[in-house]
Every structure is written in C-alpha cells, then in structure tokens.
C-alpha cells in the first residue's frame, strides 16, 4: 500500500518538473522569437534605409563622363549618407561614379557647384575635411586590390589616381583661380597638407609601393606615362608638404626609391618625373639621409637584401643622371660611402655555396633570402642600372679624374728591378745601377694615410665591395674598370708613387701595423690585382708584346718584382696569418696576379734572367728550414716555388722521390732482396707485352725495380750486360713507339710537339693505352731517366692541372697547338668591321677520316651567329674545344696514369717549360767538362788514353753544338743533358774499348784490357764504326790509330744513328 503511494508521488513530482521546464522553454522561445523579430525588423529597416540611400545616390549622382553639376552641398550630403552604408565589394561601381563626379566638379569656378565649395562653408568645413580623408583613403584601399596588367582595372586605377592627385593639391581647383579667392590658397594648401599627412599615417607609401611593383616588376611593363606620373607626383607631395622631414624622407627611401628599376622606367616613360626628382634634389637628400649611421640602420632593418639592391640601383641611376653636376660634388665621401654600405648590406646575405637555405639570385649568386616573382622579372632592368656604376662616364667621375689629377704632374716612372747578380764581377754595374736608380727616383713619395691616398682607397673599396657582392656581374665590372681610359694604368702609377719599388716598404709597414684587419688602403691594392689579373688574362700576345699600350713590358717586370717581394717578405715575416692564408684576400689577389704574370712569362718571356729569384734568399738556409718543418718556408715553396733556383727544386724533387722509396721499402738495400718485378718482352711486341704485364701492376710495384728479359726474333733469351736486365732500353723503346704519330695515339703540331690524338678512339682500348703511357712516362721521371719526348705546351699545362684554375685562358695556350688557328681567332678579336659578315656560327667542323663532322660549341650553336658582342666568347670556346673538349678523355687517362707514379704536389714545383726539362733534360749546350769528369772507362781505356784524349778534343774543337747534341743522343738516346748535370745520369756514361766486332767482343778480359791500356793493336779497326748501348749510356769505341779516322767514323756514326745495339 505504501509502495503505491510513493510511486504516485514520484510520478507527480516528475510531471511537475517537466511542466516547469516546458514553461521555461516556452519563455525562451518567446524571447528568442522577439529577438529575431527585432533583428529582422532592424535588418529590414536598415536594408530599406540603405536602399533608399543608394537609390537617392543613384538618382542624384550622374553616371556620365561630363556630368551636369549639382549643388555641392546636396552632393556632399548624399555622399556622406552613401559612405555611411558603403560596402567595398557591393559599391565599387558607385564609388567610381562618385570619384568621377568629384573630379569633374573641380572644373567649375562656382563655389556652389565645385566640391571644394563645401570647405568654404563654416558649418561643414571640418566635417568635409574628415569626409575627404575617408574618400581618398577608400581610393587607396581600392588601389591596393587592382591589377595594372588587367585593362579594365587599369582604367579604374587611373580614376583613383586622378582623384588622389586632384584633392591633394590646389593647382587643379578652378575655383581658387579667381582673384578674390587668392587669399584662401595658403589655407587650402595647408588643408591639402593635412590630408596628405593623414594618408601617410594610414600607409599611403605602402599602397603606392605595391602598385608600382605590380606595374613595373614585370617583363612587360603595364604602367603607362600618365599613371607613372601620377604615382610619382603623389609620392613627392608628402615630402614637399613636410619640407622633406627626416621621417618622411626615410619612408620615401624605404618604399619608393626601393621599387625595382623605378628611375629607369621614369627616364624612359615619364622624364618629367625625373626632372621633378632633380628639381627637389631628391638624390642629394637621400644620400644625406643614408650617410648618417642611425638612419642607415633604420632603412636596412626594414628593407630586405633584395630591395636594398633595388634602392642601390635607383641611387646609381640618379647619380648617373646628375653626373655632370651633383655627382661631382657628392661623389666623395657621401656617395662613395653610402653605396659601399648598401653593397655591404646585400653582401651579408650572399653565400658561397648552395644549401637548403639559399636561393639563386641572378645578380648576387647564392642568396640567403627568397625572391618574389615580380622582383625576379624586374632583375634585367636592375642589372641595366647597376651597369652604370662601371660605365665610362661614371668611373671617370669617381676614379678616372681623381687618379688623372694625382699622377698627371707626378712624373712617376715604375722602377725596373735589376736581376740578381751571380758573380762579384757585377759589383761595379750594381753600384752604377743603384746610383742611377737613386738619382732618377722621385724625391717625395706619397704616404699611405695621406688625404689623397685615403680618397683613392675609399673609392677602390667601393668597387672591390661591388666585385664581392655582385658576383654574377664580376666579369662585367672587371671589364668596365680595365678598359676605361687608362684608369687601371693610372692606378698602377699611383701605387708606384707610394714609395720605392712600387711602394713595397710602405705596404709592408702598413701590413705589419694591421695584421688582423684589411684596411681601405689594402682594398686599393686588392682592386688593382683583381683588375690586372683579368686584364692580363684576356690580353693576347699582339697587345702585350707588340702594342704595349698603356702597359709596357717594363711595367709588368716592375709589377711582378713588387708582388714577388711583397708576398715573400709578408710570409717570411709572418705578416700574413698562416692559418687563414687561403681566405686572406690581400694574399690571394696578389698571389693570383703574380702567378698569372709568371705563367705568361713562362710561355713567352718578357723578364730578364733570374728575375723571379729573390735576391735576399739564401737557398741553403731555406732548404734547411724546409727540413726543420718551418711553416713559412713550406708555404713559400707551395705557393711561390719559382723564388728558388730551378736546380734546387729538381734536387728537392729527387729528394721527395728518395724519401718515398725509403718509406715504401724500395731503397737499394731493399731492392737487393728478390722483390723486383720480372717481365718478359718479345722484341717484335715490346708495347703489347709491356702493356699486358705492367698495365695492371699496382703503382707501388711499378715504382720499384722492374727487370726486363728480352726475347729475340729467334725466340731466344737475350743476355744483358748487367744482371738487373735492360729496363732503360725497354722504357726508351716503349716510349719511342707509343709516341710515334703513326700509331695515332699522339699527333704532332707544326712545331713537332706531341699531344693526344682526337681520333685515337680507332685504337682498341685506347684510353687504357693512354693510362699505360702516362705510367711509363711517370716511371721515367721517377727514375730520373730523360726521354726525348717534346710535348705541346698546352698539354703540359693540363698535366700540371693549370686548366682547372679559374683564370686559365685557353686562348693563351692555343699557339702551342695551332698557330694558324690562333692567328685567325686573333683576327676575329681585333676585326674593326661587322663580324656577322663573316657568316660564322658557334660550331666547329672536324675531318674524321674524310667525313666532315660538325660540333656545336654551345647548345644550338648552329643557329647562333658570331657577332661583335659575342666574339670574345666564341674565340675562347673555340680554343677550349680544340685543346680540351676534343681530347678530354685521352688527357684524363694519361694524367691518371702519370699521377699514379708522380705525386701532383711534387709537380707544383715546376712551370710548364720546367716540366718539359724534367722529362727531357736541360735545353742547354753540352758541357763537355762535366761529361768527362763523370765518365767511366772500360776495356783498357782511361782518361789519359790517346784515343780518349782524341775523342774529347774532337768533341770540343771539331763538333758544333748540333753535332754534340747528336753525339749525346747517340750514346744516351736523348739529345739533352740531365737537369742536374752528368753526375745524375743513370747509369753513368762510360766508354769501352773494343778491338773487334761486337759479335766477337768478350768484354773486359785481361788480354783486351792490357792491349787497350798499352794501345797494342790486335786487328786494324779502321773499317769499324763506333757503336753504343743507349740503355747503359755506353760508347763502344774501337782503338783507332789515327785521330782523323776517329773524327770521320764518329761523325758518320752520330749522323747515321747507327747505335742502339745490345752487346
């Protein structure tokens, strides 16, 4: 019973709760409905109100190009109501209509019709100013969304620009032209300035900047004369209104002058705007602003590196436009320092290599900031502006006139150094030279740190910074500086005016005082070295050796002497930090120029004997320091090996070889053990058998002892004189055969110099053969065996690795391959007429076994004609193709083989001609005294023997130089003596007495020795000829009875080349 009651109670409570919640929900629904109805009624009322306002606006504001004007107060009230309900997307056409009407109203001279008339009403004047600020800012907002490249948008842009121009200045207000209105002009101008100030604070310059970038930052420019003129007018007005205040000038520089190629486009399309810039002295004011360090930081903090570059380009063009007046006044220090700061700002983002954080920039190279599309398309125009910095007129104002004035009346003559004297007999001559030098030298030298030196140094720093920043324009900058009216030559004369030996002591003292930083004065030297390196690299032989203008050969001599001594003393005195030497720009630039001059001299000499040696260098002390591991001496040997005599370097080379032999266990004591390699070679297959057995031999084994067993034509072993075999003969025979042009591995130039054949591919395994030949030649050099193999100079340069250096010039080396082609390309380079008339293209034809094959020098070269503009590129590509592209695989294989035996670091000791001497011996007359001193005798001969004395007398008095060379080739297979003299000939030269034919000669028997020693005749040898065994450097000489017989037989033998027999 009680359970039923409790159940009914619970049900009742739940029903009561549900009813209460239902009533609450009902109240919420009623309230919500009321709220919604209120909102709907409000929306409907507002919508109705808006429609009424818009209908009123549409009715009152006409939509004509030349509307009928209505009372300005009525228009003002309708416009205010319209702006009250204005929506950007919906009302853009109505706003255009309003702007069109407002501009048209200004043409009225009635205060009741002209929209400016509202401002004359005291009741509405303040409200009208606020109203106009709102209207003009809405114009700016619309401008921000419009695209100039779209024709329909362009019309609207012109309308809004017209509106802004019309209402920010009073010059188009016809109303104010009446005489009774003149008193109001000042007040109205203040009103316009107030409006401009409002727009500026809202971001007016940002709007103009974006509009300019969208219109000008394109391959096809979309802004025209009218729009450009309007934008520039609007940009200048705030400056004028604020009397070019620092704040506004800063914003103008940041937003307007940083627009890509703005000045260039203005000059092309709206020159009156450029005149406005000139009239308002914008260039000078911008420089004045940026000259202050604090302002510079503000500008740089806002601008990205890309837009800093655009600002720089615009300033350069403004300077170029005013080069005849303002620039001449401001170029130093203001312009110079401001431009350098801008370049350094851009340089902060330039990196040396690609990474995930870098982007490619067409002017700056790898760049640590991205570049938007518009800026990328504008870069060709920016490049055009930047090129003005090194144009003739610009460089003349900045550097040319300054240098010309400084050197014009100085009567500077670069001192030509006297070569190092080797004997005391030259003491008087040296004293006279010293006296003459002292008397002819200028009495007063300029000092580093003097005002004129500081001025030149700052300007040079500007251009040096440009070279380091505008990496993709470096060649253009260098060319601009090198060929501008003797500027480089005058800079050289100015450097020479800083003291004796071209300012050597001044620069060394300055370096000693500033070891940890690069001062402006050093940038002067750096720029000169950089430009001069470029100048010498592209100078051909006719320009350098024959024309000699403006630089004479003695200038190059003085220049190289200065650089040689500057670097030597700088390194030796630890004025350069050894640890950072490879990044020290002073050392790197000076060293690069020095090596360019040195290699030019090696190719065709212009310096006196011993010019490259350092007078103060004591070779024994230097070598001792090397042995002790002294760092400065090691650096000098690595960077400037030419400062020590060639013979000492050859001894160092032999020392390196001996040390390596010892490390590898290849010394004589080690070789006494049976670890040598024995090969068997058939006489008729010397190259084939040698290649088969040695090509795959490890380099270390090839550096060791190679014993050769020859098999004769009958298939029998040949007996060698010494037990170690006849490796020298094998090497000579192998080299003689593989370098024979008939084998088509190598060809000869017109000067009988060897280089790889471009058609060697017709040989099977030709690249493996080239590698084998390289190993064999390397083995000959390693063993100190000289071989008569004359290589073309360009091929030796590649063997030294010089072609991989940035400043290597294929054109310079071309004469060593094809002198006729060099003459033809030089003709093209200097041709005064139109090169296009020669009908050349970027192709080269090659005759391959009677078939003409055309190679393109560049992709699509068949369709690219050679013109005056691209001819320099053509001649270098042609030279590069002939000397590198055609034979790159063959050359690479040969070098790979050669360097597997000879360490490339050892080769760096030698220049190109010196490497040829290392391979083929010294190109000097035969020194008979040295040869006789180091001759060994066998078979009874001795130095005082009658026949031996006759021999030396005949060689000395009866043989000329050519016949002596033939004699040397007859007995050693090489016509040139060893580099270090006959003491280093391996094996030593020897003379054996033979009484009978070689087939009967049994060697040094007791009887033959006694008979030879006492000149006892066994058989008359008058019909016998002298013979030789070149593999052992052995002359086999019959015991002649008459001196005349010896003379006759010897001449016949050496001229007929009857030697090269095996005992």
Question: 706-711 and 677-682: which strand pairing?
Answer: parallel
Rounded-to-integer distance, Cα 1013 and Cα 948, Å: 11
How does the average pLDDT of the chain come out, rounded? Answer: 86
For residue 924, the number of C-alpha atoms closer than 13 Å in the C-beta half-sphere is 13
Pair 520, 454: CB distance under 8 Å: yes
482 is catalytic: no
Nearest to 487 by CA among 535, 544, 446: 535
Mean pLDDT, residues 454-482 taken together: 93
Rounded-to-integer distance, Cα 777 and Cα 789, Å: 9
Question: 1027-1029 and 851-856: which strand pairing?
Answer: unpaired
Q: How many residues does the chain have?
A: 1063
Residue 222 CB contacts under 8 Å (≥ 6 apart), including other chains: 148, 149, 154, 214, 215
Q: Which of 12-21, 89-98, 325-334, 707-716 is the least confident region?
A: 707-716
Q: Which helix (H) or strand (E) holds 401?
A: helix 401-408
Token pair for residue 1041?
Answer: 């009875």
Question: 746-748 and 754-756: which strand pairing?
Answer: antiparallel
425-447: per-residue pLDDT in tens? 444 444 444 444 444 444 567 88
Phi, psi of 932 (to 5 degrees): -65, -35
Q: How large a percentage of the chain has pLDDT more than 90?
A: 52
Q: Cα 830 to chain center, whole Å? A: 24
Task: Give the pLDDT confidence score for residue 106 in this predicted structure.
Answer: 92
Token pair for residue 968?
Answer: 């040397």
Q: Is the pLDDT of residue 337 over 90?
A: yes
Phi, psi of 853 (to 5 degrees): -115, 130
Rounded-to-integer distance, Cα 876 and Cα 811, Å: 6
Nearest to 135 by CA among 97, 187, 174: 97
Task: Give the pLDDT confidence score for residue 1 in this predicted structure.
Answer: 46
Mean pLDDT, residues 498-505 taken together: 89
Is residue 417 classed as helix, strand or coil in its secondary structure? Answer: coil
Mean pLDDT, residues 625-637 taken together: 92
557-584: per-residue pLDDT in tens? 999 999 999 999 999 998 998 888 888 9
Task: Give the pLDDT confidence score for residue 290 in this predicted structure.
Answer: 95
Nearest to 683 by CA among 641, 751, 729: 729
Q: Which of 43-47, 297-301, 383-387, 595-599 is the least confident region?
A: 43-47
Token pair for residue 862?
Answer: 């068949």
Q: Is the pLDDT of residue 57 over 80?
A: yes
Token pair for residue 546?
Answer: 């024959």
Maximum C-alpha span of the chain: 169
Please tell me what DSSP assigns to residue 846: E
Rounded-to-integer distance, Cα 904 and Cα 888, Å: 18
Rounded-to-integer distance, Cα 506 and Cα 223, Å: 56
Tally of CB atoms within 10 A around 334: 15
Q: Which of 158-162, 211-215, 849-853 is the least confident region?
A: 849-853
pTM of the model: 0.83
Mean pLDDT, residues 661-684 taken together: 73
Rounded-to-integer distance, Cα 970 and Cα 960, Å: 15
Q: Cα 608 to chain center, whole Å? A: 31
Please tell me what DSSP assigns to residue 791: B
Token pair for residue 821?
Answer: 């082609």
Is residue 832 classed as helix, strand or coil in its secondary structure? Answer: coil
Task: Give the pLDDT confidence score for residue 17 in this predicted structure.
Answer: 85
Rounded-to-integer distance, Cα 337 and Cα 674, Å: 75
Q: What is the DSSP string of 376-399?
A: HHHHHHHHHHHHGGGSHHHHIIII
961-990: per-residue pLDDT in tens? 889 888 988 888 777 888 788 888 878 899
Mean pLDDT, residues 690-709 taken together: 87
Mean pLDDT, residues 164-192 taken together: 89
Rounded-to-integer distance, Cα 122 and Cα 316, Å: 50
Task: Give the pLDDT confidence score for residue 1003 in this predicted structure.
Answer: 44
Q: Is the pLDDT of residue 1009 over 60?
A: no
Residue 418: pLDDT band by 50, 70, 90 thresholds? low
Token pair for residue 815?
Answer: 């004469």
Alpha helices (H) in 88-224, listed in sequence order: 92-105, 125-143, 151-167, 185-202, 204-216
Residue 94: pLDDT band by 50, 70, 90 thresholds? very high
β-sheet bridge partners, residue 706: 677
Query: 1056 or 723: whose pLDDT is higher?
Result: 1056
747-806: per-residue pLDDT in tens? 999 899 999 999 898 888 899 999 999 999 999 999 888 888 999 999 999 999 887 776
């Amino acid at each position: 019973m009680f359970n039923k009651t409790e159940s009914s109670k619970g049900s009742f409570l739940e029903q009561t709760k549900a009813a209460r919640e239902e009533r609450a929900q009902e109240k919420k629904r009623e309230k919500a409905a009321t709220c919604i109805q209120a909102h709907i009624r409000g929306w409907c009322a507002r919508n109705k109100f808006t429609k009424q306002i818009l209908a009123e606006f549409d009715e009152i504001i006409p939509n004509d190009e030349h509307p009928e004007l209505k009372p300005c107060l009525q228009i003002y009230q309708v416009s205010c109501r319209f702006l009250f309900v204005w929506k950007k997307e919906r009302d853009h056409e109505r706003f255009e209509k309003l702007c069109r009407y407002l501009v048209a109203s200004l043409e009225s001279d009635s205060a009741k019709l002209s929209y400016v008339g509202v401002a004359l009403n005291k009741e509405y004047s303040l409200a009208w100013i606020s109203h106009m600020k709102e209207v003009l800012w809405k114009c700016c907002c619309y401008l921000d969304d419009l695209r100039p490249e779209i024709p329909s948008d362009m019309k609207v842009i012109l309308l809004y620009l017209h509106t802004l121009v019309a209402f920010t200045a009073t010059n188009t207000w016809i109303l104010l032209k009446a005489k009774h209105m003149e008193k109001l002009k000042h007040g109205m101008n203040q009103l316009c300035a107030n409006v401009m100030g409002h727009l500026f604070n809202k971001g007016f310059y940002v709007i103009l900047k974006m509009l300019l970038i969208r219109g000008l930052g394109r391959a096809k420019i979309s802004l025209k004369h009218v729009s450009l003129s309007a934008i520039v007018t609007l940009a200048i007005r705030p400056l004028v209104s604020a009397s070019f205040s620092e704040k506004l000038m800063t914003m103008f520089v940041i937003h307007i002058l940083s627009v890509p190629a703005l000045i260039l486009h203005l000059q092309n399309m709206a020159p009156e705007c450029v005149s406005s810039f000139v009239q308002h002295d914008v260039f000078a004011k911008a420089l004045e602003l940026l000259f202050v360090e604090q302002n510079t930081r503000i500008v740089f903090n806002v601008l990205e590196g890309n837009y800093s570059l655009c600002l720089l380009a615009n300033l350069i063009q403004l300077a170029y436009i005013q080069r005849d007046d303002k620039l001449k006044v401001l170029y130093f220090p203001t312009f110079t320092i401001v431009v350098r700061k801008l370049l350094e700002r851009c340089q902060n983002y330039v990196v040396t290599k690609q990474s995930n954080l870098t982007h490619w920039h067409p002017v700056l190279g790898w760049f640590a900031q991205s570049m938007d599309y518009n800026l990328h398309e504008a870069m060709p125009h920016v490049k055009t502006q930047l090129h003005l910095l090194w144009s003739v007129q610009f460089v003349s104002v900045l550097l040319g006139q300054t240098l010309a004035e400084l050197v014009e009346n100085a009567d500077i003559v670069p001192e030509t150094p006297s070569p190092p004297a080797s004997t005391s007999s030259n003491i008087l001559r040296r004293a006279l030279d010293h006296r003459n030098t002292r008397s002819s030298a200028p009495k007063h030298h300029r000092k580093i740190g003097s005002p004129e030196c500081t001025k030149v140094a700052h300007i040079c720093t500007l251009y040096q910074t440009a070279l380091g920043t505008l990496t993709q324009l470096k060649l253009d900058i260098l060319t601009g500086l090198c060929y501008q009216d003797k500027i480089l030559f005058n800079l050289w004369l100015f450097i020479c005016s800083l003291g004796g030996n071209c300012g050597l002591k001044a620069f060394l003292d300055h370096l000693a005082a500033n070891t940890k930083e690069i001062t402006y004065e050093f940038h002067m030297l750096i720029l000169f070295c950089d430009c001069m390196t470029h100048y010498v690299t592209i100078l051909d032989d006719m320009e350098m050796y024959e024309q000699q203008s403006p630089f004479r050969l003695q200038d190059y001599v003085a220049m190289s002497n200065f650089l040689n001594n500057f670097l030597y003393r700088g390194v030796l005195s630890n004025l350069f930090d050894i640890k950072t030497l490879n990044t020290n720009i002073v050392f790197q630039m000076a060293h690069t120029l020095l090596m360019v001059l040195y290699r030019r001299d090696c190719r065709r000499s212009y310096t006196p004997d011993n010019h490259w040696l350092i007078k103060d260098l004591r070779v024994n002390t230097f070598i001792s320091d090397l042995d002790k591991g002294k760092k400065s001496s090691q650096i000098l040997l690595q960077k400037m090996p030419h400062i020590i005599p060639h013979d000492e370097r050859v001894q160092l080379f032999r020392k390196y070889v001996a040390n390596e032999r010892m490390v590898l266990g290849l010394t004589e004591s080690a070789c006494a053990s049976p670890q040598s390699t024995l090969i068997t070679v058939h006489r008729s297959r010397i190259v084939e058998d040698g290649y088969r057995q040695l090509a795959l031999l490890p380099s270390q084994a090839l550096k060791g002892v190679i014993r050769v067993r020859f098999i004769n034509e009958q298939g029998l072993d040949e007996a060698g004189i010494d037990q170690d075999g006849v490796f020298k003969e094998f090497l000579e025979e192998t080299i003689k055969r593989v370098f024979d042009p008939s084998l088509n591995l190598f060809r000869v130039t017109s000067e009988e110099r060897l280089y790889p054949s471009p058609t060697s591919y017709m040989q099977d395994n030709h690249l493996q053969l080239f590698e084998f030949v390289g190993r064999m030649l390397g083995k000959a050099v390693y063993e100190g065996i000289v071989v008569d193999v004359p290589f073309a100079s360009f091929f030796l340069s590649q063997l030294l690795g010089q072609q991989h250096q940035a400043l290597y010039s294929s054109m310079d080396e071309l004469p060593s391959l094809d002198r006729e082609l060099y003459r033809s390309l030089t003709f093209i380079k200097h041709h005064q007429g139109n090169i296009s008339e020669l009908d050349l293209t970027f192709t080269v034809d090659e005759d391959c076994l009677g078939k003409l094959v055309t190679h393109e020098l560049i992709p699509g070269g068949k369709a690219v004609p050679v013109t005056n503009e691209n001819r320099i590129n053509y001649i270098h590509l042609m030279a590069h193709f002939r000397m590198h592209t055609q034979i790159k695989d063959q050359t690479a294989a040969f070098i790979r083989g050669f360097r597997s035996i000879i360490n490339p670091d050892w080769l760096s000791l030698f220049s190109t001609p010196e490497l040829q001497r290392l391979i083929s011996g010294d190109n000097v007359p035969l020194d008979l005294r040295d040869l006789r001193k180091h001759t060994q005798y066998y078979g009874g001969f001795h130095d005082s023997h009658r026949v031996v004395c006759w021999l030396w007398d005949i060689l000395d008095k009866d043989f000329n130089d050519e016949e002596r060379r033939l004699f040397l080739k007859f007995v050693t297979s090489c016509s040139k003596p060893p580099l270090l003299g006959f003491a280093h000939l391996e094996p030593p030269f020897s003379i054996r007495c033979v009484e009978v034919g070689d087939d009967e000669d049994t060697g040094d028997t007791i009887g033959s020795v006694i008979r030879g020693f006492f000149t006892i005749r066994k058989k008359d040898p008058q019909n016998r000829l002298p013979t030789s065994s070149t593999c052992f450097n052995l002359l086999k000489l019959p015991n002649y009875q008459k001196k005349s017989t010896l003379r006759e037989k010897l001449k016949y033998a050496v001229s007929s080349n009857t030697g090269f027999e095996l005992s």
